Structures are given as structure tokens and as C-alpha cells.
């Protein structure tokens, strides 16, 4: 469990005062790898370096350039988001796996992924895992799309270097299983004779673009949620409008987003997450991380906040990130006093309609857990996710690792279910 998750699962946290941004940290003068493996087996020189997370600042420009040419984008591994948490989330086990091509002084970054060495599963096994967590539930590595196959094969070959003394199993967590990155990694493993296996699979809701020439957004949404639910939500909205004027607003500029974010933080802190100590506002470092991530992305028009108001009172808020036509519904909150009117659903329906109306829209990822009780009924499309395991050390243990991870996940789900039932009884 990462420090992020650990902090947010502690009960009894008290709300804190306004959490200011942390001061900038002086950049180190040079990169000193924790571990390194070099290959000259091809026409190019390759260098796989494991770098300390604190050294990310030195690589920010190179990573941003790689992200703009990656096979698949991942906003959570780009500088604007990842830098926001580096000096606030002190997980000493996190490293940056960086694969460079070229000679010293003229190297090009071809692959980057934050990862951590962990003992995981039941029984415990040492593995390398991509650093996907509670605030970044997407682990797609940044892999340059040009010559991606060669890069992937070189990466896996170097990961298997015994001189590195790293775990034999690499776990690419929270991957889009039908995406091109996973396909390239699988093919690379097969070409090298490395065993691979998929584990911890699940589906989460997503919203996909529609053909506007054959159906309009409102009709699509009505068909998606069903006639009965559509009528019920419309009835609830009419009942709510009897209490005041309902307004839906979207903050897009930096100033608008900053103001709307404070409204979100206050709203979330006033609900059950605030009472349990898991709201973003509950811990200074988490609140500061959230403010910097959202505000920095807003400067490049990559974050927006949707708000539902009753007169001037915020009753629902949705924080979103966007990247190349793709949206991510990062955090949502609503006023529990208006729970009977389903304000969170009303806001999501309004945002969905707006996105479907945009020509540049491709899809929206809910970032939700499997079988989510709210979003699964609103968005009918699904994306397959899971963990791609590759036995880079040819240990022959991949089946045992996969079974151990599945066993741990099932045990955790069972414990969560039992705790939920116990709370209802009490």
C-alpha cells in the first residue's frame, strides 16, 4: 500500500486549515541512477536507469516530450500531475524506470514509468509494480510510438538483467487490456520467450463518442439510462427546482477552476468523507497536492470543474481532467442534505451531455471501481482493465504470483463486504 493510500485509510483525521502550496525544491545537479543496465546488442545503445522519484524535476521536459509522442497517453504520469505529489507524498520505494536510447549526451527517452518494488499477494511474492494508486488509477506507461516494439523488447531484456538484482516478475498494474501498449508488451514478451499472464481483471464504466448525424446527445443519454430512470431523474429535478433556481456551471479558466476547486473541497469535507477523514481537505499535504495538480493542469486547459448550484449554494461538484479529447472524472462530491434529489447523478448527466456535444470528444473514463452503483447505470460502455504480469527473470513463478494476487484481492473484497454488512447491522 502506498503512502497515499495509507494516509487516506486512517480514521479519525481532523479537518485542517487551508493547505498552502509547498515551496519549490531545488533541482539536483545531475541524475544518479539507483540501478542501471546497459545494452549494445542492437545498432543503438540503450540505458535502463532506475531513478529516485525526487529526480523527476530534471526529467520533466524530456517526459513531457515523450508523452506527446507516446503510443498511449496517461495524464497521471505527465509532469503537471506527477510533480504535484512528489514532495508531498514521500513514498521512498517509488522509482522512475527510464529507458534511454543513444550515446551519453545525446540520449532520447523512449520509455518512462514510475514503479515500486513490493511484497504482494497471499502468500507474499516480491514483484515490481507500476505506481498506479488511489489518485491515479491508470498505469499505462509512456512508450514512444515510433519503434515501440523494439523499445519494448529492449526494456524487457534489460529488466531481466541479473546484475540489477530486482524481482523477476514485472506487474504492469491498471492497464487497458485492449490497448496498443499492452499488445506491444505481450508481443515483446513472446518474441523473447518470456511468460506473461493477465490478472486482477475488471471492467469500469466509460462514455464513448457518438455519431451526431444519427443521434443527438440527449436522446443517447435517455436511451442509455432507460425510459423509467430518465423520467424519475426529470421528476426529481423538477421537485428540486421548486426550492430555488438550479444552475449548472463549468469552470475552465485557471481562476475559475481554482475558485471551483475550493468549493469542491469544502463540499467534500462536509460529507461522509470528511467525517471519516478521507476527504482531500482532511490532510494538508493531500489538499496541497490536489490544488497544485488541478491548477497546473488548468493552465494548459486540461482540467475543468462542473458544478450544480441551487441558487448560489453548491450541491454537487465534479473535478475532471482532459487529455487529447479524453476526459477523466477524477473526484465527485454532493451535498447529503439533497441526497433524495440525486444531485450527483444530475450533474453527471449534464456533464455527459455537454461532452457528447463536442466534436473533439473521444471518450470519458469514469476511473470508478467495478460495479459502481452510480456510474454503471449512467454509462453503458465498458473498458477492460487488469494487471499484465511478465516473468522478465524467467523464474517460472508467474502462475504462483498471479494466483497470489487474485487470492489477496478476493480476501480484501470479502473483508470489505463483511465490514459493510456489519456497519449496517450496527
Domain extents for the chain? 31-202+385-425, 210-361
The answer to whether 74 and 142 are in contact (CB under 8 A) is yes
Whole-number Cα distances in Å, 194 to 119, 154, 169: 22, 13, 10
Question: Mean pLDDT of all residues in the chain?
Answer: 88
Per-residue pLDDT band for 55 (boundaries 50, 70, 90) equals confident
Q: Please give the C-alpha separations between residue 308 and each of 203, 217, 351, in angstroms, as whole numbers.
A: 28, 19, 10
Q: Is the pLDDT of residue 291 over 50?
A: yes
Cell of 296: 497546473
pLDDT at 28 over 80: no
DSSP per residue, 102-154: SSTTS-EEEEEEEEEEEEETTTTEEEEEE--BTTB-----EEBSTTHHHHHHH
Q: How far apart, in whole angstroms, are the C-alpha atoms of residue 372 and residue 176?
A: 18
Percent of the chain surpassing pLDDT 70: 89
Quick check: 83 pLDDT over 80? yes
369: nearest Cα among 411, 320, 425, 416: 416
H or E segment to which residue 239 belongs: helix 227-241
pLDDT reported for residue 26: 40
Q: What is the CA radius of gyration of the chain?
A: 23
At 19 the pLDDT is 37
The Cα–Cα gap between 362 and 324 comes to 8
Q: What local confidence, expressed as pLDDT, does residue 166 receive?
A: 92
- Distances 328 to 56, 112, 214, 320 between C-alpha atoms, Å: 24, 21, 26, 5
Among 303-307, 371-375, 407-411, which range has the highest average pLDDT? 303-307
Kindly write down the DSSP assignment for every residue of 1-44, as one continuous string.
--HHHHHHT-TTPPP-S--PPPPPPPPPSS---SEEEEE-SSSS
Q: Can you tell me the distance from the alpha carbon of 88 to that of 85, in angstroms, rounded to the nearest whole number?
A: 5
Per-residue model confidence (pLDDT) at position 90: 56
How many Cα neighbours within 13 Å face the side chain of 272? 6
Read off the pLDDT band of 91 (50, 70, 90): low
Average pLDDT on 257-276 reads: 92
pLDDT at 392: 96
Give the model's pLDDT for residue 279: 85
Asked whether the domain spanning 210-361 has the same topology as the one spanning 31-202+385-425, the reply is yes
337: cell is 442534505
Pairing verdict, β 169-176 and 125-130: parallel
- Residue 289 C-alpha cell reads as 497536492
Asked whether the bond before 123 is cis by omega within 30 degrees of 0, the reply is: yes
Assigned CATH for 31-202+385-425: 3.40.630
2 has pLDDT over 70: no
CA separation for the pair 404, 412 (Å, rounded)? 12
Q: What is the pLDDT of residue 92?
A: 65
Position 213 scores a pLDDT of: 83
What's the pLDDT at 281? 85
Q: What's the average model confidence in pLDDT over 278-303?
A: 90
Tens-place pLDDT, residues 139-149:
999 999 999 99
Please spell the DSSP secondary structure of 48-116, one letter per residue.
Answer: EEEEEGGGHHHHHHHHHHHHTTBSS--GGGSHHHHHHHHTTS--TTEEEEEEEESSTTS-EEEEEEEEE
Is the domain defined by 210-361 classed in CATH 3.40.630?
yes
Distance separating alpha carbons of residues 323 and 329, to the nearest angstrom:
12
What secondary structure letter does DSSP report for 369?
Answer: P
Q: CA triplet 368, 336, 343: central angle to 5 degrees?
A: 65
Q: What is the pTM of this model?
A: 0.88
pLDDT in tens, 183-198: 999 999 999 999 999 9
In this predicted structure, what is the pLDDT of residue 282?
83
Amino acid at each position: 500500500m502506498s503512502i497515499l493510500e495509507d494516509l487516506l485509510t486512517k480514521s479519525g483525521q481532523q479537518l485542517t486549515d487551508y493547505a498552502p502550496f509547498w515551496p519549490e525544491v531545488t533541482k539536483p545537479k545531475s541524475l544518479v541512477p539507483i540501478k542501471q543496465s546497459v545494452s549494445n546488442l542492437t545498432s543503438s545503445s540503450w540505458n535502463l536507469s532506475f531513478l529516485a522519484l525526487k529526480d523527476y524535476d530534471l526529467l520533466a521536459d524530456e517526459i513531457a516530450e515523450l508523452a506527446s509522442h507516446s503510443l498511449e497517453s496517461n495524464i497521471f504520469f505527465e509532469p503537471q500531475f506527477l510533480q504535484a505529489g512528489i514532495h508531498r507524498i514521500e513514498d521512498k520505494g517509488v522509482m522512475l524506470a527510464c529507458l534511454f536510447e543513444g550515446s551519453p549526451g545525446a540520449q532520447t527517452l523512449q520509455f518512462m514509468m514510475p514503479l515500486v518494488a513490493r511484497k504482494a499477494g497471499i502468500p507474499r511474492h516480491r514483484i515490481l509494480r507500476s505506481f498506479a494508486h488511489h489518485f491515479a488509477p491508470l498505469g499505462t506507461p509512456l512508450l514512444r510510438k515510433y519503434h515501440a516494439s523494439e523499445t519494448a523488447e529492449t526494456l524487457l531484456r534489460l529488466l531481466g538483467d541479473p546484475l540489477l538484482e530486482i524481482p523477476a516478475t514485472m506487474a504492469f498494474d491498471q492497464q487497458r487490456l485492449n490497448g496498443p501498449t499492452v499488445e506491444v508488451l505481450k508481443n515483446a514478451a513472446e518474441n523473447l520467450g518470456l511468460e506473461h499472464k493477465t490478472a486482477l481483471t475488471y471492467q469500469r464504466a466509460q462514455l464513448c463518442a457518438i455519431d451526431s448525424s444519427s443521434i443527438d446527445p440527449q436522446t443517447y443519454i435517455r436511451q442509455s439510462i432507460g425510459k423509467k430512470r430518465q423520467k424519475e431523474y426529470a421528476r426529481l429535478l423538477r421537485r428540486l427546482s421548486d426550492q430555488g433556481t438550479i444552475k449548472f456551471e463549468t469552470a475552465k479558466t485557471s481562476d475559475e477552476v481554482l475558485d471551483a476547486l475550493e468549493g469542491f473541497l469544502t463540499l467534500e469535507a462536509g460529507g461522509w468523507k470528511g467525517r471519516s477523514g478521507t476527504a482531500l481537505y482532511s490532510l494538508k499535504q493531500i489538499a496541497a497536492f490536489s490544488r497544485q495538480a488541478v491548477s497546473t493542469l488548468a493552465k494548459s486547459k486540461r482540467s475543468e470543474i462542473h458544478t450544480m448550484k441551487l441558487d448560489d449554494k453548491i450541491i454537487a461538484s465534479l473535478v475532471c481532467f482532459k487529455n487529447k479529447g479524453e476526459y477523466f472524472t477524477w473526484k465527485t462530491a454532493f451535498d447529503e442534505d439533497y441526497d433524495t434529489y440525486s444531485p450527483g447523478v444530475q450533474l453527471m448527466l449534464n456533464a455527459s451531455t455537454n461532452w457528447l456535444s463536442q466534436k473533439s470528444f473521444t471518450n470519458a473514463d469514469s476511473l470508478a471501481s467495478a460495479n459502481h452503483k452510480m456510474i454503471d447505470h449512467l454509462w453503458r460502455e465498458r473498458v477492460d482493465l487488469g494487471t499484465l504480469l511478465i516473468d522478465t527473470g524467467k523464474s517460472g513463478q508467474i502462475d504462483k504470483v498471479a494466483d497470489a494476487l487474485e487470492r489477496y484481492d478476493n480476501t480484501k473484497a470479502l473483508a470489505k463486504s463483511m465490514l459493510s454488512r456489519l456497519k449496517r447491522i450496527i
